[in-house]
Chains A and B, each alone.
Chain A
């Protein structure tokens, strides 16, 4: 079946612009995670959804970052007034159920470059 997809794959934004990054998880997956991966580093957790409920947003770096999953499937990560330090790859992952033992299936990521 189809895996996790993300769009756009690449995004170039001017500093101060707003951007929206989309994630289509595997159909039926309850859990959805967003991670931020700086160049040459491991991904860092941003936020977690269980269905449509955002249960953990402790990793969002500032109030310029906002995520939603209104119908419990597609999720959007929005970054307002982008800054150069926001440049990174944004990864989305989904898993069938909630829980620490679940395998997370990752999308290809969106590479954001803020000029």
Chain B
């Protein structure tokens, strides 16, 4: 079983600034994966970044990076040089293989507003 908690219902950032979205998780699996997905208003959910739990190195994708603290079960997302197009609902999610089949357990989401 897995649980994912996002404690920030809303965050805001000025264009070109940096913002960090928080996420904590709990899982009984030893082999699991963590994701950040972005859901713009009325648009499809898309993957932002993925972290494999067995890798110590934090994942990065252009302006997006994570701070993965395995012992603390923390997985935060940092967005650098924020752009207006980054405004969306962001979901942290966890999955595992085996008999979990990769189904995603999502947090409650964080609404990110970007101010020009």
Within 38-65 of A, Cβ neighbours of B (below 8 Å) are at 40-45, 48, 50, 55-56, 59
Number of A residues near B (Cβ < 8 Å) is 30
CB of B101 within 8 A of CB of A3, answer no
CB of B44 within 8 A of CB of A108, answer yes
Q: CB-CB < 8 A to B68: which residues of A?
A: none
**How near does chain B come to A2, taking the closest CB pair, in angstroms?**
13
Q: CB-CB < 8 A to B107: which residues of A?
A: 42
CB of B102 within 8 A of CB of A100, answer yes
B31's partner among A4, A100, A102, A103 (CB-CB below 8 A) is: A100
- Measured in the bound complex, the distance between the Cα atoms of B104 and A59 in whole Å is 12
Q: Given that A31-B102, A45-B103, A56-B101 are known contacts, is A100 also in contact with B95, CB under 8 Å in the complex?
A: yes
CB of A102 within 8 A of CB of B45, answer no
Q: CB-CB < 8 A to A4: which residues of B?
A: 44
Question: Closest 7 interchain pairs by CB?
Answer: A42-B106, A100-B97, A106-B45, A100-B95, A100-B102, A45-B103, A100-B96
